[in-house]
Amino acid sequence: MTTPSGTPGEAIPRPLDHYLDTASAEPLHPAAREVLLAALERGYADPRRLHRQARDARLLLDNARAVVAECLGARPDEVGFAASGTDAVHRGLLGLVRAQRGTARTGVVHSAVEHSSVLHAVGWLDSPLHASVPVDASARVDPAAVDAAARSDGVAVVALQAANQEVGTVQPVDALDLPERIPLFVDAAAAAGRIELPSRWDALAASARKFGGPAGVGVLVVRREVRWSTPFPGDDGLDQLGGDANVPGALATAAALQAVLSEREETAARQHELTDRIRRAVGSLPDTEVVGDPVDRLPHLVTFSCLYVAGDELVTALDRRGYGVASGSACTASTLEPSHVLAAMGALTHGNVRVSLRRDSTVAEVDGFCAAVADAVAEFRSGAGL
């Protein structure tokens, strides 16, 4: 194998790597890894068939659904596994709208800071009745404004995230007072396994890789009494979304979710202390703003913006120092578009960095990161003559 240096077998020396981008993907939880390896030996057959191997795969899949249902306060027959978190969002949200076909209700009310998967689904619907509700400087929506928008003619669904994936602010989902006929879709990808989820929702989506499960598995939960219809070709149900079931992935997802929930209180307390440490250190730098709610937020995530520094250059500089972080809207950063979340908040949209801690991140690692940020920002500003 040839390394990027061009010399076969020669490793490029670099600082110790510190992965601090778990808001994009958390490393596989040990419990999920153990279950995944075991399930690969047993869960290979198609659970829709009738032979012994298929019945064994069906048993594993049903077990995964039961565990996830218990973790999320749902019934096993309300749980489905999708091809990704994005796929779960699209199927959940679009399925709620599709179930309204034959009526005049085609619009979606959503906050201005929803994940790009929600915004893309709304754009794909191409309805003139959609409404984007603004947020305050912390990226929090006013529930009264959402309620008012939901009462407009033609609204089919309200979509509101449990917590923001970019700045960590928790949304007041349980404070909504929606009309009974309007279903509520909650994107819980950033929040699942990290905080207590809202109690009031009709459909909910999550992404396994964001809480320590395997990549390529999404979770979709739809309440049994809610009108929902698959928006894409295929069977009209949650049992096997998209056709083929990823039985090992589903079982590992269930194991990861169960494990992180059992550890959540301890992990969240430790991560809150560490992110508070980052907020204080980075916030003390000149012309630097820490964004998002300082208290009611995800425990593992901090986003800040530095004036006179480009976000992608700062991420690259931190990577050279051994720290892997994100910049901009995590799912759209490659487009070089400004963050729609920061823009909606009225915050600086360039020079921003999102750091999200691992379960085992330490004080030493966090202090090293803060020192690296200060060094990189000073270097850039000195080079610019500032």
Distance, in Å, from the CA atom of 292 to the CA atom of 138, rounded to the nearest integer, reads 5
How does DSSP classify residue 208?
G
Residue 175 tokens read as 């404070």
Distance, in Å, from the CA atom of 106 to the CA atom of 24, rounded to the nearest integer, reads 31
Helix axes 363-383, 311-320, angle to 10 degrees: 130
SS3 270: helix
Catalytic residue among 71, 306, 331, 370: 331
Mark whether 71 is an active-site residue.
no
Task: Dump the DSSP string for 74-140.
Answer: --GGGEEEESSHHHHHHHHHHHHHHTTTTSS--EEEEETT--HHHHHHHHHH--TT-EEEPB-TTS-
Q: Where are the alpha helices (DSSP H) in 135-246?
A: 143-150
Q: Which residues, including other chains, have CB under 8 Å from residue 145's CB and lie 6 or more apart?
A: 133, 134
Residue in 54, 374, 73, 82 with CA at minimum distance from that of residue 241: 82
Amino acid code (one letter) for 360: D
The strand pairing partners of 326, in sequence order, are 354
Residue 279 host element (H or E): helix 247-283
Distance, in Å, from the CA atom of 138 to the CA atom of 91, rounded to the nearest integer, reads 29
How does DSSP classify residue 334?
G
Task: Dump the DSSP string for 8-33.
Answer: BTPPPP-PPPEE-BTTT-PPPPHHHH
Residue in 301, 288, 282 with CA at minimum distance from that of residue 139: 301
Distance, in Å, from the CA atom of 44 to the CA atom of 66, rounded to the nearest integer, reads 19
Q: Which positions are catalytic?
A: 331
